[in-house]
Amino acid sequence: MAPKNIAKSFLIATATALVVRLFVVEDFRISSDSMTPNLLKGDLILVSKSAFNLRLPFSSFELFRTGKPKRSEVVAFSVPEQGTDTYVKRIVALGGDRVEIKEGSLWINGEMAEYQETPESNQILEKWPSGRSYQITKGKSQLADYGPVDVPADHFFALGDNRSDSVDSRKWGPVPYSCLKGRVALVWISVGSSGGVRPSRWLSAIQ
Protein backbone atom coordinates (compact mmCIF):
# COMPACT_ATOMS: atom_id res chain seq x y z
CA MET A 1 0.00 0.00 0.00
CA ALA A 2 1.30 3.43 -0.94
CA PRO A 3 2.34 5.79 1.90
CA LYS A 4 -0.44 8.20 0.87
CA ASN A 5 -3.08 5.49 1.21
CA ILE A 6 -1.63 4.37 4.55
CA ALA A 7 -1.87 7.91 5.90
CA LYS A 8 -5.44 8.25 4.63
CA SER A 9 -6.47 4.96 6.22
CA PHE A 10 -4.86 6.00 9.50
CA LEU A 11 -6.73 9.32 9.53
CA ILE A 12 -10.04 7.64 8.76
CA ALA A 13 -9.50 5.07 11.51
CA THR A 14 -8.51 7.77 14.01
CA ALA A 15 -11.52 9.94 13.13
CA THR A 16 -13.87 6.97 13.42
CA ALA A 17 -12.45 6.00 16.81
CA LEU A 18 -12.83 9.60 18.03
CA VAL A 19 -16.47 9.80 16.91
CA VAL A 20 -17.24 6.48 18.59
CA ARG A 21 -15.55 7.64 21.80
CA LEU A 22 -17.33 11.01 21.83
CA PHE A 23 -20.84 9.92 20.89
CA VAL A 24 -21.33 6.14 20.97
CA VAL A 25 -19.45 4.26 23.68
CA GLU A 26 -16.96 4.93 26.47
CA ASP A 27 -15.20 2.70 28.95
CA PHE A 28 -15.09 3.18 32.71
CA ARG A 29 -13.28 1.29 35.46
CA ILE A 30 -15.21 0.18 38.54
CA SER A 31 -13.20 1.48 41.49
CA SER A 32 -15.37 0.48 44.47
CA ASP A 33 -17.43 -2.42 45.83
CA SER A 34 -20.73 -0.52 45.70
CA MET A 35 -22.20 -2.66 42.89
CA THR A 36 -21.13 -6.12 44.04
CA PRO A 37 -21.98 -8.86 43.29
CA ASN A 38 -22.93 -7.73 39.77
CA LEU A 39 -20.00 -5.40 39.14
CA LEU A 40 -16.64 -5.96 40.81
CA LYS A 41 -13.80 -3.59 41.59
CA GLY A 42 -11.47 -3.79 38.62
CA ASP A 43 -14.18 -4.42 36.02
CA LEU A 44 -13.81 -2.33 32.88
CA ILE A 45 -17.29 -1.58 31.58
CA LEU A 46 -18.56 -0.26 28.28
CA VAL A 47 -21.19 2.47 28.51
CA SER A 48 -23.59 3.26 25.67
CA LYS A 49 -23.37 7.07 25.59
CA SER A 50 -26.19 7.45 23.06
CA ALA A 51 -28.75 5.46 25.07
CA PHE A 52 -30.38 8.52 26.64
CA ASN A 53 -28.94 11.66 25.06
CA LEU A 54 -26.32 13.20 22.83
CA ARG A 55 -24.07 15.88 24.29
CA LEU A 56 -21.81 18.53 22.86
CA PRO A 57 -18.30 17.03 23.03
CA PHE A 58 -16.23 18.01 26.10
CA SER A 59 -19.23 19.65 27.79
CA SER A 60 -22.36 18.76 29.74
CA PHE A 61 -24.60 20.53 27.21
CA GLU A 62 -27.34 18.19 26.04
CA LEU A 63 -28.07 18.42 22.30
CA PHE A 64 -31.17 16.21 22.45
CA ARG A 65 -32.54 13.12 24.17
CA THR A 66 -32.52 9.75 22.47
CA GLY A 67 -34.34 7.63 25.05
CA LYS A 68 -35.64 7.37 28.59
CA PRO A 69 -34.13 5.36 31.44
CA LYS A 70 -35.98 2.36 32.84
CA ARG A 71 -36.23 0.85 36.29
CA SER A 72 -33.54 -1.78 37.01
CA GLU A 73 -31.10 -0.42 34.40
CA VAL A 74 -27.49 0.03 35.49
CA VAL A 75 -26.37 3.49 34.41
CA ALA A 76 -23.40 5.84 34.55
CA PHE A 77 -24.05 9.41 35.63
CA SER A 78 -22.68 12.46 37.39
CA VAL A 79 -24.08 14.22 40.44
CA PRO A 80 -24.07 18.05 40.37
CA GLU A 81 -22.98 18.38 44.00
CA GLN A 82 -20.16 15.83 43.60
CA GLY A 83 -18.08 17.48 40.88
CA THR A 84 -17.01 15.58 37.76
CA ASP A 85 -16.93 12.06 39.25
CA THR A 86 -18.79 9.32 37.39
CA TYR A 87 -21.04 6.99 39.39
CA VAL A 88 -22.42 3.62 38.34
CA LYS A 89 -25.61 2.49 40.10
CA ARG A 90 -28.94 0.76 39.45
CA ILE A 91 -32.11 2.77 38.84
CA VAL A 92 -34.83 1.67 41.26
CA ALA A 93 -37.38 4.43 40.68
CA LEU A 94 -38.34 7.12 38.17
CA GLY A 95 -40.32 10.35 38.19
CA GLY A 96 -43.68 9.90 39.91
CA ASP A 97 -42.54 6.93 42.02
CA ARG A 98 -42.37 6.87 45.80
CA VAL A 99 -39.33 5.18 47.32
CA GLU A 100 -38.87 4.03 50.89
CA ILE A 101 -36.50 1.71 52.72
CA LYS A 102 -37.78 0.05 55.89
CA GLU A 103 -35.43 -2.09 57.97
CA GLY A 104 -33.29 -2.60 54.89
CA SER A 105 -36.17 -3.65 52.59
CA LEU A 106 -36.93 -1.65 49.46
CA TRP A 107 -40.46 -0.33 48.95
CA ILE A 108 -41.63 1.15 45.64
CA ASN A 109 -45.04 2.83 45.44
CA GLY A 110 -46.17 1.14 48.64
CA GLU A 111 -45.12 -2.39 47.61
CA MET A 112 -42.22 -4.17 49.26
CA ALA A 113 -39.65 -6.12 47.29
CA GLU A 114 -39.37 -9.83 48.07
CA TYR A 115 -36.11 -11.35 49.32
CA GLN A 116 -34.91 -14.92 48.89
CA GLU A 117 -31.80 -16.72 50.04
CA THR A 118 -29.31 -17.83 47.38
CA PRO A 119 -26.58 -20.52 47.30
CA GLU A 120 -24.04 -17.72 47.80
CA SER A 121 -23.96 -17.02 51.54
CA ASN A 122 -23.13 -13.33 51.11
CA GLN A 123 -25.85 -12.62 48.54
CA ILE A 124 -29.63 -12.42 48.48
CA LEU A 125 -32.14 -12.26 45.62
CA GLU A 126 -34.20 -9.08 45.51
CA LYS A 127 -37.44 -9.34 43.51
CA TRP A 128 -39.31 -6.15 42.73
CA PRO A 129 -43.11 -5.86 42.53
CA SER A 130 -42.66 -5.48 38.74
CA GLY A 131 -41.17 -9.00 38.62
CA ARG A 132 -37.60 -7.91 37.92
CA SER A 133 -35.06 -9.63 40.15
CA TYR A 134 -31.31 -9.66 40.69
CA GLN A 135 -28.83 -10.53 43.41
CA ILE A 136 -27.57 -7.97 45.90
CA THR A 137 -24.95 -8.17 48.62
CA LYS A 138 -26.18 -8.94 52.12
CA GLY A 139 -25.38 -6.54 54.90
CA LYS A 140 -26.71 -4.17 57.51
CA SER A 141 -26.94 -0.77 55.85
CA GLN A 142 -26.06 2.36 57.77
CA LEU A 143 -29.19 3.80 56.14
CA ALA A 144 -31.49 0.85 56.82
CA ASP A 145 -34.47 3.22 57.01
CA TYR A 146 -34.94 5.95 54.44
CA GLY A 147 -37.77 8.09 53.14
CA PRO A 148 -40.38 8.00 51.87
CA VAL A 149 -39.26 10.18 48.98
CA ASP A 150 -41.30 11.18 45.94
CA VAL A 151 -39.15 11.23 42.80
CA PRO A 152 -39.74 14.41 40.74
CA ALA A 153 -40.46 14.32 37.02
CA ASP A 154 -37.37 13.84 34.82
CA HIS A 155 -35.39 12.41 37.74
CA PHE A 156 -34.32 8.92 38.81
CA PHE A 157 -33.45 7.30 42.13
CA ALA A 158 -30.40 5.01 42.07
CA LEU A 159 -28.96 2.53 44.56
CA GLY A 160 -25.85 0.38 44.63
CA ASP A 161 -26.39 -3.39 44.67
CA ASN A 162 -24.15 -3.49 47.75
CA ARG A 163 -26.49 -1.43 49.93
CA SER A 164 -24.18 -1.46 52.96
CA ASP A 165 -21.23 -0.03 51.05
CA SER A 166 -22.68 2.40 48.52
CA VAL A 167 -22.95 6.16 48.32
CA ASP A 168 -26.07 6.71 46.23
CA SER A 169 -29.45 8.47 46.10
CA ARG A 170 -29.92 7.86 49.81
CA LYS A 171 -27.30 10.59 50.21
CA TRP A 172 -27.91 12.80 47.15
CA GLY A 173 -31.61 12.25 46.59
CA PRO A 174 -33.11 11.90 43.10
CA VAL A 175 -30.80 12.73 40.18
CA PRO A 176 -31.88 14.69 37.04
CA TYR A 177 -32.04 12.82 33.73
CA SER A 178 -29.68 15.45 32.33
CA CYS A 179 -26.88 13.97 34.46
CA LEU A 180 -27.02 10.59 32.73
CA LYS A 181 -23.88 9.61 30.82
CA GLY A 182 -25.19 6.33 29.46
CA ARG A 183 -26.40 2.80 30.03
CA VAL A 184 -23.88 0.18 31.14
CA ALA A 185 -23.75 -2.38 28.33
CA LEU A 186 -21.28 -5.01 29.49
CA VAL A 187 -18.05 -5.86 31.27
CA TRP A 188 -15.47 -6.10 28.51
CA ILE A 189 -12.48 -7.03 30.66
CA SER A 190 -11.82 -7.52 34.37
CA VAL A 191 -8.64 -7.28 36.43
CA GLY A 192 -8.42 -8.24 40.10
CA SER A 193 -6.78 -6.20 42.86
CA SER A 194 -3.60 -8.29 42.63
CA GLY A 195 -3.32 -7.63 38.91
CA GLY A 196 -4.59 -11.02 37.80
CA VAL A 197 -7.14 -11.12 35.00
CA ARG A 198 -10.62 -12.62 35.43
CA PRO A 199 -11.45 -14.13 32.00
CA SER A 200 -14.79 -15.51 33.21
CA ARG A 201 -16.08 -11.94 33.42
CA TRP A 202 -14.89 -10.77 30.00
CA LEU A 203 -17.67 -9.69 27.64
CA SER A 204 -20.29 -10.51 30.28
CA ALA A 205 -23.72 -8.89 30.28
CA ILE A 206 -24.96 -6.87 33.25
CA GLN A 207 -27.65 -8.55 35.34
Number of domains in the chain: 1
Classify residue 16: in a domain, yes or no: no
CATH number for the domain that contains residue 66: 2.10.109.10
CA 53 to CA 67: how far, in whole Å? 7
Helix (H, G, I), strand (E, B) or coil at 60: coil
Classify residue 12: in a domain, yes or no: no
Residue 151 has pLDDT above 90, yes or no: yes
Classify residue 73: in a domain, yes or no: yes
Total number of residues shown for the chain: 207
Classify residue 29: in a domain, yes or no: yes
What mean pLDDT value characterizes the chain? 85
Classify residue 14: in a domain, yes or no: no
User: Which tens digit of pLDDT belongs to each residue from 28-70?
Assistant: 999 999 999 999 999 999 999 888 877 766 666 677 777 899 9
Domain that holds residue 169: 25-205
Which of these, 69, 86, 51, lies nearest to 167 by C-alpha position?
Answer: 86
pLDDT tier for residue 196 given thresholds of 50, 70 and 90 = confident
List active site positions. Answer: 34, 89
Global confidence as pTM: 0.84
User: Which tens digit of pLDDT belongs to each residue from 70-105?
Assistant: 999 999 999 988 778 899 999 999 999 999 999 889
Residue 142 has pLDDT above 60, yes or no: no
